[in-house]
Structure 1
């Protein structure tokens, strides 16, 4: 009997949800608001493209010892998203689709890397473990697919995956921080039911 490894399960889900976001974006009016305050749907698509681009750099850092960080700085990341959100819609879709596809192709390389290897979001930190990169991408895809406000909600996520996201969400909440608690409650209010 062939058993699927945990990383293979996550990689398959990343590929599936990448295709789902690409399909959703293909027919959307990207100028409309998203569920992320201050962002249009174009900002969401731009963010997903640059997120894939940044995670590709971290795959190279983990596998090739390239020394790259995900982003040069948080300010540069934000500027890239704002700039890309102004691209013509077909150009923006192509950018996000191409970066997403490149990441789907590159993520399996992590199977040969040390999963505990630390890679940096920006120079000087914070850091992530290489083994967490596929799950990080999956989380971005699902949450931001919901944020497109195009008919996809948490109820459309596979039950086992939804439970995993729910457990991660609860694990990350700092109940002493009102802002973090508020963010978690907002996500719950948007329909992330753990059942």
Structure 2
């Protein structure tokens, strides 16, 4: 019993630290959004077919979708991340044209709802298995990381001066191996990535070439946020990031 209590306490401390990291990332995002103009919202983001308004609407609805996963973990009642792919996309389209004040209020409120629920999650409910929107099973302990990925990557997608180089080393150290695991070359050509600043090395498929560069730049390329012009090596064509 003592061992279980110690394990729960350690897990809760780690989860609380992750929640602090998400809160800090959101605290960087919100003032940057507040500094935008109405005209800025209808300008293209770095995501094809999405304006900045689309990105903000998605961030808000994503926070609510992760509330669903936390409720699932807490109550044991299956609560899908999104009711359906159609409704997910419809909510983003409906939310994209809203004025800045509404976007900012929604982004702030949805973040606070999610964070408040996460802060009071009983320690013994965090290991509960839930499923993401693509059906992948995972413990609820992964939900804070999911939110951090959304906030950090979509902050870059807004194209308002925040870049992969601004990601923290800790974030990149976790993101890059995930990118390697989830990447599939569209042309079937495997490769190795080597981070020149951290020493990390990972492989995709059966490696035929090595791509080198700073860890943040490698991660940005793997998730389609960079053409990879700052990397060395023969860059294969990548499939969509999962």
Flag whether TM exceeds 0.5 (same fold). Answer: yes
The structure with the greater share of residues assigned to strand is: 2
Residue of structure 2 in register with 1:136 after alignment: 146
Secondary structure in 2 matching 1:119: strand
Number of equivalent positions: 188
Residue of structure 2 in register with 1:172 after alignment: 182
Q: Give the RMSD, CA atoms, in angstroms.
A: 2.8
Preserved contact between residue 55 and residue 70 of structure 1 (Cα < 8 Å): yes
Residue of structure 2 in register with 1:10 after alignment: 18
Residue of structure 2 in register with 1:120 after alignment: 131
Report the Cα offset of residue 171 of structure 1.
2.0
Q: TM-score, with normalisation over the residues of structure 1?
A: 0.84
Counterpart-to-counterpart distance in 1, 2:127 and 2:186: 29
Counterpart-to-counterpart distance in 1, 2:102 and 2:223: 35
Judging changes above 3 Å, is the alpha-carbon distance between structure 1 residues 159 and 54 closer, same or farther for their aligned structure 2 residues?
same
Q: Which structure is higher in RCO with an 8 Å CA cutoff and minimum separation 6?
A: 1
Preserved contact between residue 153 and residue 191 of structure 1 (Cα < 8 Å): no
| Structure number, greater radius of gyration | 2
| 1:90-112 per-position Cα deviation (integer Å, ceiling 9, x unaligned) | 11221111001111222233452
- Which region of structure 1 is more displaced relative to structure 2, 57-66 or 68-77? 57-66
Residue of structure 1 in register with 2:222 after alignment: 184
The structure with the greater share of residues assigned to helix is: 1
Which ranges in structure 1 are unaligned for 5 or more consecutive residues? none
